[in-house]
Structure 1
Amino acid sequence: MSNLVESLRAIKVVPVIAINNAEHAAPLAKVLIENGLPCAEVTYRTPAAEQAIRNMRDAYPDLIIGAGTVLTSAQVDSAIDAGVDFIVSPGLNPTTVKYCQQRGVTIVPGVNSPSQVEQAMELGLETLKFFPAGPSGGVNMLKALTAVYPIQFMPTGGVSPSNVHEYLDIPAVFACGGTWMVPNNLVDEERWDELAELVASVAKLFD
């Protein structure tokens, strides 16, 4: 887990992607790699998720790939079979967490309160998603949580170019999840040049 966290810490932003057509996965991965964000969280919000992950993994073995919006053990199995490096869930489901632990895959579940952080710690977790970050109190809430708990966080939901640095300035934040550099319409319409500009602009925020 520590190697994964350090790799994501170096990248700083994890593109969160809903792919409608698995054939777009490899070209999108190419855009991400060539423009400074060599990672992707492919969400299970579309039926194409598993095949999209497979296509990314086959084309770019070194890409860091997470499966997002994972809600069931069956989706965990699907994501592992497709070749993911880690699992992300929107909430803290002990059943899903324990199943990931049994399968030997890293899970980063979502929390947004002290009680949920303590439940996660009881399950042996040290890395969590703060979600939805904006509606849950944003930077101030996350500062309050990190002042109390020895947890590393990946805030997602409401993170944007205007506030990403505020989140990343919190020492316990290892990366932020975001969707703004991978709009669905640009992916669906295969507008790779425009996507490349967006991804590069995000990478340049941290030069």
Structure 2
Amino acid sequence: MNKKWVTRKRVWSRPFGQAGGMAARCYDEETTASITRHSNKKGRRIMPKHLLVTWRTAGVALMLVTLLTACASEPAEPVAFKPVPASRIVKPGYTEAAQGLVAVDVRRERSRDLVVRFRDALVYMDGEQVTDLLNGEHVVFYLSPGVHKIAVSTQFDPIVELRFIVTADTRYTNRASITFDADHRIGLRRVAQ
């Protein structure tokens, strides 16, 4: 490492009456460059630019994590479910009440997650597509007692099927719930009242 003698003249107007004069100090080239690079005009040390960039990047990353945490999948406030409009029912035979049929309520649970909020859930009954449900909607099927297959899917998920035993016995519920998990995959389960 090359050593370089740098002389610096002291300023005469020092506080507390300090004497001025010539002072010789020994600095290597790296230290001189570092002091020059990280000092402002008054000789005060300042933060290097790469550290400023690092702090700014950390601040932006923290802000993004905070925003993404706010978008996590959690249920929305309880609000009454809206019935699916008749114009979106493909097979109306399953949604018409008749003597001897049992009402089965299929609900699409509300979600605050923006990724799944606007996806429509296609609903199948015994292998036939009946309708699609949006966030917070429900449809009531009128089915004969016995075993039926209720299935759901989205444009991104495979069909999820549930063997659903329909009974007129009041000890059992005839309600199914469509939800999305943390990985935004659709799910279907039987729920209690």
TM-score range, shorter chain: under 0.3
Greater strand share, structure number: 2
Greater helix share, structure number: 1
Question: Greater Rg, structure 1 or structure 2?
Answer: 2
| TM-score (norm: length of structure 2) | 0.23
| TM-score (norm: length of structure 1) | 0.21
Q: Which has the higher contact order (CA 8 A, sep 6+)?
A: 1
